[in-house]
Amino acid sequence: DYEAGKLSRDKLIDKIKFVENAEMERKPDLDLFGNMLRTTYDQRYTETYFISSTPRYEWLSGLGVVYTVKVYSSYEDNGLYRIPGMRKSDMSKEDRDKSVEDMYPKFVDSFKENIIRYGSTIKSLEDGNKLIVKVTMTKCSSCSFPESVEFMVDKSTLDQFSKGSLSLDQAKNKVVLKK
């Protein structure tokens, strides 16, 4: 409207709102969920990719909670690779990439399962809220999976699962995967 001349400069300035990014209040149940993911995908326990730090989260009023996490697949040492999730070591880059590619479907399935099981512990979610987990995938130049994926599930699905109204498979099928 300003560029079209319908709004004066002063009115435009009045419409600009500044929001101070104050430190978000920590919520124990949201911290707990992040710690559950961190432990589940610790390189000692996972059968797929691993997480090296606790996922960060942001509470968005009216939407729910958004976690961000990066997953890794391997370590490289002098041109040879070790994949903790598969208990394999001394792999060439080609073998490593093939194994990393092969793990992707299992990772997606297990991640859906874990956000259903552990997401049910989040009591801060209100009706209509969502649990969203944005995952930056492990680096793999020859792999066909996306660089990042987003898992999203409604609070109602988590509630139905925890009450026994939905089976685990039914609840997993309600998790939206955005690539």
Q: What is the pLDDT of residue 177?
A: 98
Tokens encoding 124: 């801060």
Q: Is residue 2 part of a domain?
A: no
- Domain interval for residue 57: 43-178
Q: At what angle do helices 155-163 and 93-119 cross, to 10 degrees?
A: 70
Supply the pLDDT for residue 123. 95
Domain presence at residue 37:
no
Q: Number of structural domains, the chain?
A: 1
Tokens representing 49?
């990719």
| Res 19: pLDDT | 46
CA distance 159 to 10: 49
121 inside domain: yes
The answer to the question of residue 71 being in a domain is yes
C-alpha span between 156 and 158 (Å, rounded): 5
Considering the domain boundaries, does residue 26 fall inside one? Answer: no
Query: pTM of this prediction?
Result: 0.84
Is 30 inside a domain boundary? no
For residue 53, the 8-state DSSP code is S
Q: What angle do CA 121, 127, 129 make, to 5 degrees?
A: 75
Q: Which residues contact 30 (CB under 8 A, 6 or more apart)?
A: 57, 59, 65, 122, 124
Question: Quick one: pLDDT at residue 16?
Answer: 58
Place of tokens 């399962």: 113
Confidence (pLDDT) at 99: 97
- Split the chain (179 residues) into runs of 10 and give each run's mean pLDDT: 64 56 75 97 96 95 96 95 94 96 98 98 96 98 97 98 98 97
